[in-house]
């Protein structure tokens, strides 16, 4: 590749990023396979080894019934299940359904809040992995204006 | 780099309530640049990691389906005034940023 100033700047930025935040290298690797999957069941298998989840009413999933703007859909998840290891969010009808996965170390509450992009009306599923198994609950969010592309 | 992370850390007893707002385009890779007609390549935060006094308290793995200028909130226990809370993110292009705050 042509060694332009842009390439040199970009490479040194990467080097700087890598050297200035060494602690990041100690985190579990970003689970690329689950995030690039275009089928919800495949994404779950890639992340958790299975797409089988036990429905649970101990998971409190808050999403709007109707999303005014598909680019910014607020979601919050909390659970009274014990020994939670991770919380994942699956948006079934998104081009890539696995939206996020949160690793919950001991001492951290199994509770998260964030904002999602949804391309169209879809079920949003919260998947909780505990030391006892994998649990889930799901709610439909109606989307009028999709938020995935231009 | 100009700060791209805003942190709010509230201590209630030994519970720390953390809210974070990141400045990031979170481009999915499907958006078309209206001026050039080309697709804008995917550019999104992949991991957002929080440590308290060096101990990891949260690892958030994001896809492109997290909204532009991501918001993320969570809580943990075992916190006390004077603890150093650090938030750091990396993205798929190797960019990164971090910020520290003291719990009070």
Check residue A74 and report its DSSP letter. Answer: E
How close A10 comes to chain B (CA, Å)?
Answer: 9
Q: How many domains does chain B have?
A: 1
From chain A residues 54-93, the ones with a CB under 8 A of any chain B CB are 71-73, 76, 91
**Which of A27, A44, A87 to probe the B interface (max B CBs under 10 A)?**
A27
How close B24 comes to chain A (CA, Å)?
Answer: 13
| A18/B contact by beta carbon, under 8 A | yes
**Domain A27-143, what fold?**
Immunoglobulin-like (2.60.40)
ipTM score here? 0.95
Identify the CATH number of the domain in which residue B60 sits.
2.60.40.10
Find out whether B28 and A146 touch, Cβ atoms under 8 Å: no
How close A70 comes to chain B (CA, Å)?
Answer: 9
> What pLDDT sits at residue B2?
59
Residues A69-77: what's their mean pLDDT?
Answer: 97
Residues 6+ apart with CB under 8 A from B32: A149, A150, B38, B39, B40
Domain residue extents for chain A:
27-143
**Which of B74, B90, B93 to probe the A interface (max A CBs under 10 A)?**
B74
Report the distance separating Cα B36 and Cα B25, nearest Å: 18
Q: Using CB atoms within 10 A of its CB, is residue A143 exposed (0-12), middle (13-18) or buried (19+)?
A: buried
| Structural domain span for residue B52 | 5-30+39-102
Report the distance separating Cα B70 and Cα B23, nearest Å: 7
Report the distance separating Cα B8 and Cα B20, nearest Å: 6
Q: What is the pTM of this model?
A: 0.87
Residues A22-33: what's their mean pLDDT?
Answer: 72
Residues B65-74: what's their mean pLDDT?
Answer: 98
A132 is written with which tokens? 């006892």
Strands A59-62 vs A122-130: parallel, antiparallel or unpaired: unpaired
- A39 - beta bridge partners? none
The tens digit of pLDDT for each residue in B51-69 reads 999 999 999 999 999 999 9
Find out whether B46 and A98 touch, Cβ atoms under 8 Å: no
Report the distance separating Cα B59 and Cα A26, nearest Å: 11
The tens digit of pLDDT for each residue in A101-137 reads 999 999 999 999 999 999 999 999 999 999 999 999 9
């Amino acid at each position: 590749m042509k060694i332009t100033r842009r390439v040199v700047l970009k490479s040194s930025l990467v080097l700087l990023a890598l050297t200035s935040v060494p602690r990041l290298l100690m985190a579990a690797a970003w689970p690329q396979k689950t995030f690039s999957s275009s089928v919800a069941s495949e994404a779950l298998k890639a992340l958790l080894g299975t797409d089988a989840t036990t429905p649970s009413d101990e998971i409190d999933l808050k999403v709007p019934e109707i999303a005014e703007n598909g680019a910014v859909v607020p979601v919050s998840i909390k659970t009274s299940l014990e020994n939670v290891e991770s919380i994942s969010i699956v948006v079934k009808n998104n081009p890539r359904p696995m939206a996020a996965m949160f690793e919950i170390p001991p001492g951290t509450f199994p509770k998260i809040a964030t904002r999602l992009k949804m391309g169209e009306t879809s079920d949003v599923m919260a998947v909780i992995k505990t030391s006892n198994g994998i649990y889930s609950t799901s709610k439909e969010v109606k989307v009028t204006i999709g938020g995935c592309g231009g | 780099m100009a700060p791209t992370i805003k942190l709010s850390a509230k201590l209630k007893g030994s519970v720390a309530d953390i809210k974070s707002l990141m400045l990031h385009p979170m481009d999915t890779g499907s958006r078309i640049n209206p001026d050039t007609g080309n697709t804008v390549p995917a550019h999104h935060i992949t991991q957002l990691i929080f440590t308290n006094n060096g101990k990891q308290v949260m690892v958030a793995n994001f896809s492109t389906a997290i909204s532009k200028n991501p918001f993320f909130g969570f809580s943990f226990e075992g916190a006390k005034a004077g603890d150093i809370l650090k938030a750091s993110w990396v993205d798929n292009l190797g960019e990164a940023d971090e910020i520290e705050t003291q719990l009070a």
